Chain A
């Protein structure tokens, strides 16, 4: 089975532009999350979607938005790009939303990421 796929792999934009990043989860996975990883840091949570509904949002400005489609793929949009938005954007999928974390649920499967450079 294919893993999580993301497109494009690399992207260069200028300040003020808008960007759309795409993610396809593992077949059968209904939950998609987005993370931003700035160079030298760990990933930071941006959004979580399950069954096309937003289930969580991290501490990011309203310039960041996302959506999930009926086929469970997802898009992350960033408007009015800033230099500080330069980062690796990671998408992760998970089998289901419910289920006990204590029982071991919550493993996420990450895609290769989209590296965004804002000039």
Chain B
């Protein structure tokens, strides 16, 4: 079953604009990760934020995490046509057992950046 939901399901912006995607999840987590998928191929890891962190930056990416609201957001600044892809949040569980390494994904946000 899907852990969370991304919002919006689809987003279309002009090149140079910022894109914000949101993710909500249901259970306690140890960390939350964002992945990108181009044209139904393999996923590329973008950024990981630990449950005791509130904000993290990597290049043009900014991720926030609010564990009290069980939500996260991914901001892509100064978007480029090459950013066109589907973006997924994935949570790694709150238990300490080996099974907690499995990732639970949302349904994704499909981002289109128009040149």
**With a CB–CB cut-off of 8 A, which chain B residues contact A112?**
41-42
Interface on chain A toward B: helix, strand, loop, or mixed SS? loop
Q: Does any Cβ of B come within 8 Å of A70's Cβ?
A: no
**With a CB–CB cut-off of 8 A, which chain A residues contact B44?**
110
Min distance, Cβ A30 to any Cβ of chain B, angstroms? 12
**Size bracket of the A interface:** 35 or more
Q: Is the CB of A113 within 8 A of B31?
A: no
Q: Is the CB of A107 within 8 A of B48?
A: yes
Q: Is the CB of A42 within 8 A of B92?
A: no
Q: Is the CB of B102 within 8 A of A33?
A: yes
Given contacts A42-B88, A44-B105, A56-B99, contact A90 B31 (CB under 8 A): no
Q: Does any Cβ of B come within 8 Å of A16's Cβ?
A: no
Q: In the bound complex, how far is the Cα of B43 from the Cα of A109, in angstroms?
A: 8
**With a CB–CB cut-off of 8 A, which chain A residues contact B105?**
35, 42-44
Q: Is the CB of B102 within 8 A of A111?
A: no
Q: In the bound complex, how far is the Cα of B48 from the Cα of A109, in angstroms?
A: 13
**With a CB–CB cut-off of 8 A, which chain A residues contact B52?**
102
Across the interface, A110 reaches (CB within 8 A) one of B43, B50, B92, B106, namely B43
Q: In the bound complex, how far is the Cα of B105 from the Cα of A103, in angstroms?
A: 20
- A4 to B, closest residue via Cβ: B42
Q: Does any Cβ of B come within 8 Å of A72's Cβ?
A: no
- Can you show 7 pairs from A to B with CB atoms below 8 A apart? A31-B101, A35-B103, A92-B43, A97-B98, A97-B101, A112-B42, A115-B40
Tell me the A residues contacting B by CB distance below 8 Å.
4, 31, 33, 35, 39-45, 48, 50, 55-56, 58-59, 88, 90, 92, 94, 97, 100-113, 115
